[in-house]
């Protein structure tokens, strides 16, 4: 398949401003004082690096790489690395702040960071991606570290890139340092359960929300946007629990089957076809954006930012949105969705299963010990369910949406920690 350019998203909002508008509402509800507000509204560190890479044809191409540390108040900063043509500083700043709130919502001892390289990994060879990953790691070698800043996979990256990052960092330090990065291959110290962890957390959040809404999973239908790491595992695990997945999608388009898509078949098809669902035969092909407005009970956006926005929010028909992606709902669309009475399990809660198991991976690396997959899943399910219940309780207490409640939980924890540690 040739590379398919994503269609530009209409009315895309500035992601950092979107994040700030929710932060502002939650800070007001919480009565956050000005000092802490000012500390938390700006990232602690922003680094932009220029990466000249020799391409396979011998030419030199210069790529721009970013790493933003939003906060290290709760601990070393943590967050994925994204390879995508849409990467820019405002996006990375927003994603870094979301990591701060996410780690606080699930109560793990990390601050928030995010990184990215503006590139199109689908049009690059493995060798070019390896050289780019190694150059990025070398450029940020003084930022990364198991006690400082710990990257992980995000869109366009996975265990392969994390292995190169770990190796490059270890070579520079003269010792194997596997705790510098999570989401590694198992053989390099990756944790069992990390690959499926984000999708698994989405499944746990979806079932918890369905229980509140009295939706029986065995009678429920669900549409999932994005069929990468998060979307495919969320689909598989929800299907295993009785939910009928009626639509899935990726950059090639959306695929609809009202009797339910066989998700194992779709995953096998994608794995055998260069990572794409293009020409998938188990469903009828529909427009990618039509998936968002289908008649289903649940929508899981698991692709990218701002896909639910002012052009389509009034047409959304589901009862529940569970945000597998970071920032899939624009801040302006929040109000429309709330007015329609749709429950939203927000990104900083719903997709926190990934960073939770990344934390377990880091703990195992530091202990020099391996947990069983059963132990990883049991503990992460518990953390996700407790976090859901806590956010739900706060949403009732403050009479706010689940999104604002999650921000309240997070900001409160970070602010209290900041106060105890003291400013400069």
- The set of catalytic residues is 114
Contact 414, 100 (CB under 8 A): yes
Q: Which one of residues 117, 155, 238, 320 is an interface residue with ligand NAI (CB under 6 A)?
A: 155
Shortest distance in whole angstroms from residue 243 CB to ligand AKG: 23
Shortest distance in whole angstroms from residue 80 CB to ligand AKG: 3
Q: Which is nearer to ligand NAI, 43 or 121 (CB)?
A: 121
Q: Which one of residues 263, 324, 337, 410 is an interface residue with ligand NAI (CB under 6 A)?
A: 324
Q: Within 10 Å of residue 91's Cβ, how many Cβ atoms? A: 25
> Taking CB under 6 A as the rule, does residue 162 contact ligand NAI?
no
Residues that bind ligand AKG (CB under 6 A): 78-80, 99, 102, 152, 154, 182-183, 326, 351, 354-355, 358
Burial 312-339 (b: 16+ CB within 10 A, else e): bbeebebbbbbbbbbbbbbbebbebbbe
> Taking CB under 6 A as the rule, does residue 247 contact ligand NAI?
no
Q: Where are the beta strands (DSSP E) in 9-110?
A: 45-54, 60-71, 77-84
Burial-class residue 127 by CB neighbours within 10 Å (0-12, 13-18, 19+).
exposed
Contact pattern from residue 192 through residue 211 relative to ligand NAI, giving x for each residue in contact according to CB under 6 A and a dash for the rest: ------x-------------
> Taking CB under 6 A as the rule, does residue 18 contact ligand NAI?
no
Contact 408, 398 (CB under 8 A): yes
Q: Which is nearer to ligand AKG, 351 or 365 (CB)?
A: 351
> Taking CB under 6 A as the rule, does residue 153 contact ligand NAI?
yes
> Taking CB under 6 A as the rule, does residue 325 contact ligand NAI?
yes
Contact 81, 92 (CB under 8 A): no
> Taking CB under 6 A as the rule, does residue 251 contact ligand NAI?
yes
Q: Which one of residues 137, 326, 356, 364 is an interface residue with ligand NAI (CB under 6 A)?
A: 326
Angstrom distance (rounded) from CA 143 to CA 140: 5
Angstrom distance (rounded) from CA 387 to CA 356: 11
> Taking CB under 6 A as the rule, does residue 261 contact ligand NAI?
no
Edge to edge, the sheet with strand 149-153 lists 45-54, 60-71, 111-118, 77-84, 149-153
Shortest distance in whole angstroms from residue 99 CB to ligand AKG: 6
> Taking CB under 6 A as the rule, does residue 228 contact ligand NAI?
yes
Burial-class residue 8 by CB neighbours within 10 Å (0-12, 13-18, 19+).
exposed
Contact pattern from residue 32 through residue 71 relative to ligand NAI, giving x for each residue in contact according to CB under 6 A and a dash for the rest: ----------------------------------------
Contact 280, 266 (CB under 8 A): yes
Angstrom distance (rounded) from CA 359 to CA 197: 11
Contact pattern from residue 290 through residue 309 relative to ligand NAI, giving x for each residue in contact according to CB under 6 A and a dash for the rest: ------------xxx-----
Residues at the contact surface with ligand NAI, assessed by CB under 6 A: 6, 153-156, 198, 225-231, 249-251, 288, 302-304, 324-326, 351, 354
């Amino acid at each position: 398949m040739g590379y398919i350019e994503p269609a530009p998203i209409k009315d895309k909002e500035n992601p950092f401003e979107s994040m700030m508008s929710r932060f502002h509402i939650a800070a007001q509800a919480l009565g956050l004082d000005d000092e802490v507000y000012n500390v938390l509204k700006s990232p602690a560190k922003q680094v932009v690096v220029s990466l000249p890479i020799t391409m396979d044809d011998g030419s030199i191409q210069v790529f721009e790489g970013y790493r933003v540390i939003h906060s290290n108040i709760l601990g070393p900063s943590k967050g994925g690395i994204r390879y995508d043509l849409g990467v820019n500083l405002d996006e990375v700043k927003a994603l870094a702040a979301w990591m701060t709130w996410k780690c606080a919502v699930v109560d793990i001892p990390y601050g928030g960071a995010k990184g990215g390289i503006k590139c199109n990994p689908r049009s690059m060879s493995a060798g070019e991606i390896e050289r780019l990953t190694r150059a990025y790691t070398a450029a940020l070698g003084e930022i990364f570290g198991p006690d400082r800043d710990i990257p992980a996979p995000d869109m366009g990256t996975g265990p392969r890139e994390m292995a190169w990052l770990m190796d490059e960092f270890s070579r520079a330090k003269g010792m194997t340092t596997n705790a510098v990065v999570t989401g590694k291959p198992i053989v390099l110290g990756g944790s069992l359960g990390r690959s499926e962890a984000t999708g698994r957390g989405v499944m746990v959040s979806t079932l918890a929300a369905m229980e509140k809404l009295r939706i029986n999973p065995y009678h429920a239908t669900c549409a999932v946007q994005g069929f990468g790491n998060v979307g495919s595992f969320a689909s598989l695990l929800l299907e295993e629990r009785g939910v009928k997945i009626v639509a899935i999608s990726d950059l090639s388009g959306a695929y609809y089957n009202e009797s339910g898509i066989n998700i194992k078949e779709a995953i096998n098809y994608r794995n055998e076809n260069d990572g794409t669902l293009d020409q998938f035969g188990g469903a009828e092909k529909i427009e990618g954006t039509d998936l968002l407005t289908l008649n289903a009970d649940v929508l899981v956006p698991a692709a990218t930012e701002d896909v639910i926005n002012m052009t389509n929010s009034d047409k959304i028909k589901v009862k529940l949105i569970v945000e597998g992606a970071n920032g899939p709902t624009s801040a302006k669309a929040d109000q429309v969705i709330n007015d329609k009475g749709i429950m939203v399990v927000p990104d900083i809660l719903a997709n926190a299963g990934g960073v939770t198991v990344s934390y377990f991976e880091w703990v195992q690396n530091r202990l020099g010990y391996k947990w069983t997959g059963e132990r990883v899943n049991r503990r992460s399910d518990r953390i996700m369910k407790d976090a859901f219940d806590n956010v739900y309780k706060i949403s009732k207490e403050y009479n706010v949406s689940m999104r604002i409640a999650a921000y309240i939980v997070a900001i409160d924890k970070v602010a209290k920690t900041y106060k105890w540690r003291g400013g400069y």
